[in-house]
């Protein structure tokens, strides 16, 4: 069996590795348009801040990956066309040479691309996005050469806020622009307010309801003022790379991602899709979701590789679980926000719980949890958590509760660990369970 994989970051390399684990006789060929493969994009903000080295976030080369797994890796090779009838791919190398290859099975792992608005001056050398290893390399080279003093970050998602913190640690003044009144798309307004307050107490120049209209030689022009900018980062989200798939007849969903089933199959025979180019679905209700995260990219890649080699693994959907750090706070979220649940037609009740992450006499620190509960099923639809310590543990417990549709009794009866250095005798999760039990029927 010959498998061609288009894309060699998280999903593509995960698929290749799983195929070779299951079938050492498989012929696997990977085509990647960039020179870097199998990197940790989530670590890029911390490389920018000097906390980790480039080799930490880009630990593998095409040669080392090929040697370890016994696959062919062609970096600098962009696939530009798929012919499903002939089962062939066509493309061009970064040196301008044409190539073609045939396959028995094809995996689309083409990822996503940053959204960069078409503005006057957006092609300036001071303007960046942060998605690929090449993006990171370019930002680091620019900062070393130009030593910027004033940066503008557009967007308040994970990447924007993580880069913000790391630029501040480099003593660069940062102005953050957000097009709407609420920052951070993964949180409801009441929880996002905590982050807004934190940013202001840290001296961050946060401008809400503000967009860049043009980029001049020295500033970001909002139409009302010129904000000095030696470096401008657009962190306004991504869109799936689906052009060649769509041209080959592969169906796209409402989110713009490639539609797949639980075996990661597309509507075109012998073509699979995984990672950030694929549309996934909610574990709550099968609602289509496009939430490009490293966790689901690695997972869907591994499952696609297993399916192709006759394995029994199947994908079960996502909750969009995410976590990030901002200064001394950890912010986590999973499932639906209150707003999203209402938009989808759920009748909800809201639980807000403030607790210490461990015993008070062991310097327990405050944590706030917002839980969105479905009135009909009496189960959780989503949670948002903010605190300085212990957020990751409670988030993952509550993810498990949502996945398994646990009600308040089940949540309260979880036999969670307890010792004063680690927890309180009633965990914050237990209090959520108790409050769920007490909701009106």
In the three-class reduction of DSSP (H, G, I as helix; E, B as strand; rest coil), residue 101 is classed as: strand
Within 8 A by CB and 6+ apart from 239, the residues are 112, 113, 115, 256
Q: What single string gives the DSSP state of each residue in 156-204?
A: -SHHHHHHHHHHHHTT-EEEEEESSSS--TTS-HHHHHHHHHHHHHTT-
- Quick check: 108 and 277 in contact, CB under 8 A? yes
Rounded to whole angstroms, the Cα distance separating 80 from 245 reads: 10
Is 274 among the catalytic positions?
no
Q: What is the DSSP letter of 338?
A: H
Whole-angstrom distance, CA of residue 50 vs CA of residue 171: 12
- How far are the Cα atoms of 90, 130, 153, 162 from residue 150, in angstroms, in the given order? 44, 18, 10, 17
Biggest CA pair distance of the chain: 70
Among 42, 274, 277, 352, which one carries the catalytic annotation?
A: 42
Tally of CB atoms within 10 A around 413: 11
| Active site residues per annotation | 42
């Amino acid at each position: 069996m010959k498998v061609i994989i288009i894309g060699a970051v998280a999903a593509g390399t995960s698929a290749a590795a799983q195929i070779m684990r299951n079938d050492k006789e498989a012929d696997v060929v990977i085509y990647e348009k960039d020179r870097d493969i199998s990197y940790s994009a989530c670590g890029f903000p911390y490389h920018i801040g000097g906390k980790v080295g480039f080799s930490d976030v880009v630990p593998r080369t095409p040669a080392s990956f090929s040697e370890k797994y016994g696959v062919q890796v062609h970096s600098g090779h962009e696939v530009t066309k798929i012919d499903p009838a002939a089962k062939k791919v066509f493309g061009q190398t970064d040196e301008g040479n044409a190539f073609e290859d045939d396959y028995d099975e094809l995996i689309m792992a083409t990822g996503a691309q940053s959204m960069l608005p078409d503005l006057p001056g957006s092609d300036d050398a001071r303007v960046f996005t942060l998605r690929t290893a090449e993006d990171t390399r370019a930002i680091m080279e620019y900062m070393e050469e130009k030593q910027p003093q004033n940066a503008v970050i557009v967007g308040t998602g994970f990447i924007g806020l993580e880069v913000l913190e790391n630029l501040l640690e480099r003593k660069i003044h940062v102005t953050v622009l957000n097009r709407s009144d609420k920052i951070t798309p993964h949180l409801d307004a009441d929880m996002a307010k905590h982050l807004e307050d934190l940013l202001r107490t840290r001296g961050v120049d946060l401008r809400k309801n503000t967009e860049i209209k043009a980029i001049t030689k020295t500033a970001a022009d909002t139409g009302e003022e010129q904000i000095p900018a030696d470096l401008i980062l657009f962190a306004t989200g991504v869109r799936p790379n689906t052009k060649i798939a769509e041209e080959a007849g592969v169906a796209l969903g409402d989110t713009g991602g490639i539609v797949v089933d639980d075996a990661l199959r597309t509507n075109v025979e012998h073509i699979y899709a995984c990672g950030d180019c694929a549309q996934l679905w909610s574990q709550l209700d099968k609602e289509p979701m496009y939430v490009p995260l490293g966790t689901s990219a690695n997972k869907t890649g591994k499952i696609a590789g297993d399916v192709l080699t006759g394995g029994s693994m199947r994908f079960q959907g996502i909750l969009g679980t995410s976590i990030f750090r901002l200064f001394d706070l950890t912010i986590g979220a999973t499932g639906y926000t209150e707003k999203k649940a209402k938009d989808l037609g759920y009748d909800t009740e809201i639980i807000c719980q403030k607790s210490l992450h461990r015993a008070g006499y062991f310097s327990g620190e405050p944590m706030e949890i917002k839980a969105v509960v479905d009135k009909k099923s009496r189960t959780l639809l989503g949670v948002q958590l903010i605190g300085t310590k212990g957020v990751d543990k409670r988030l993952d417990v509550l993810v498990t509760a949502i996945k398994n549709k646990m009600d308040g009794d089940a949540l309260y009866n979880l036999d969670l660990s307890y010792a004063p250095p680690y927890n309180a005798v009633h965990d914050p999760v237990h209090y959520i369970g108790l409050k769920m039990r007490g909701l009106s029927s």
